[in-house]
Structure 1
């Protein structure tokens, strides 16, 4: 079985070297490109399983590269890695069709977990815009949670946490995985934040008693739809 191939577009030479060597050491096949103007051609040649794109690049920025990739392939996962952390940049990235957006600086463990997360979903099977479970309709892109008696706008992190739990419904999702994916580290402070967000989601979903977020003590959570 061939290792997953990653197209990594990054013009910071030192960072590119560290990330590429670490990913290769973890079993990934990395195709590295430093020139944004050549990235789309490299995509067509390499046929990667995942694209990692910086945004501020010479000759063509990451947003334009992602847009061109989406014209050619609507399913390949795209992850932005960028120092641009304004909410507008993040929103723009997801509007273009990115699967994830990681702010620099980031940990390699966080990056690897996020790559593994996007690879878990079958290529060619697009997630529907509206996710329906129990009495609820959840739209991750619009960050809305609809119930016959209530409409709620979720924060970005609430939405991503609910999506992660839903995608892994009936399976246990480890706390460490959630923390690394959504907070960037499993520190004590972030762990307490996760507890708060789980409580919020349970409160949001109390309109349907068949839906549960079950705590698996010392391990994580299981999202169950009765």
Structure 2
């Protein structure tokens, strides 16, 4: 079945991997299983996948490292972490890397399936790079900066900074809503796909990054309106 969604499952616990793979196979997904991060990267480079499910604690290469390597090769593929690490710092680290979701063990396979469906639906509704070139200007002028959205580059004169996918999406979103109060929940729903608490913490981190990236232009300001949201202020050109 060529149209079947292909999932790469990287999990060193064979019992958990067998349970998840069996359940997803029944639901029509094509699941490739790798038992550690090294083999996970090999599988990723060998086949085209629609979604990646990663454990964190694995031999030879942990899930965070593997996620960073995958993100460097493909900034768009959805990544879902599945881990027994349930501390806030672990989840925040995953979202900083660019995770789309994070579930904790023991895994409820019904919940996992629903999360996968939500991620894939969101992914299918997002315009591809070629569509973005047609529907949005390739270069978005933000004060003295230029955002090349399809290639995720932020330029200030001769200085060029490579952005992550999430950073570029968030900056474009903020510019579209510039000089207006934007509620946190709305940002999270539109850019992250939901307003989960841990994604909210990740949002604050991303806002701090953008402030740093845009600091050379004093006409640009990101205001935190406590308890409500943010204002992305850009002085209008006279």
Superposition TM-score, scaled by structure 1 size? 0.60
Q: Deviations over 1:148-195 (max 9, x none)?
A: xxxxxx8716949xxxxxxxxxxxxxxxxxxxxxxxxxxxxxxxxxxx
Superposition TM-score, scaled by structure 2 size? 0.57
Distance in 1 separating the partners of 2:183 and 2:96: 17
The aligned runs of 1:22-41 (5 Å cut-off) are: 22-41=23-42
Distance in 2 separating the partners of 1:31 and 1:64: 19
Distance in 1 separating the partners of 2:46 and 2:184: 34
Moved over 6 A (4+): none
CA contact (8 A) 1:7 1:46 kept: no
Distance in 2 separating the partners of 1:112 and 1:138: 29
1:139 to partner: Cα distance = 5.9
Distance in 2 separating the partners of 1:10 and 1:49: 17
CA contact (8 A) 1:70 1:97 kept: yes
Distance in 2 separating the partners of 1:44 and 1:94: 23
1:106 to partner: Cα distance = 2.1
1:102 to partner: Cα distance = 0.5
The aligned runs of 1:114-153 (5 Å cut-off) are: 114-120=115-121, 121-122=123-124, 124=128, 128-129=169-170, 130=173, 135-138=180-183
The aligned runs of 1:57-68 (5 Å cut-off) are: 57-68=58-69
CA contact (8 A) 1:33 1:42 kept: yes
**SS of aligned partner of 1:8:** strand
Distance in 1 separating the partners of 2:35 and 2:29: 18
Larger Rg: 2
CA contact (8 A) 1:31 1:46 kept: no
Find the counterpart in structure 1 of residue 13 from structure 2.
Answer: 12
CA contact (8 A) 1:90 1:101 kept: yes
Q: Deviations over 1:23-55 (max 9, x none)?
A: 000010000000221111110112110000000
Find the counterpart in structure 2 of residue 102 from structure 1.
Answer: 103
Distance in 1 separating the partners of 2:196 and 2:120: 25
Q: Deviations over 1:75-127 (max 9, x none)?
A: 00000000011111100000001100101112111101111111112363667
Distance in 1 separating the partners of 2:35 and 2:24: 17
Provide closer, same or farther for how the CA distance between residues 158 and 95 of structure 1 changes in structure 2, counting only shifts above 3 A. Answer: closer
Distance in 1 separating the partners of 2:26 and 2:12: 21
RMSD, aligned α-carbons: 2.9
Distance in 2 separating the partners of 1:158 and 1:119: 18
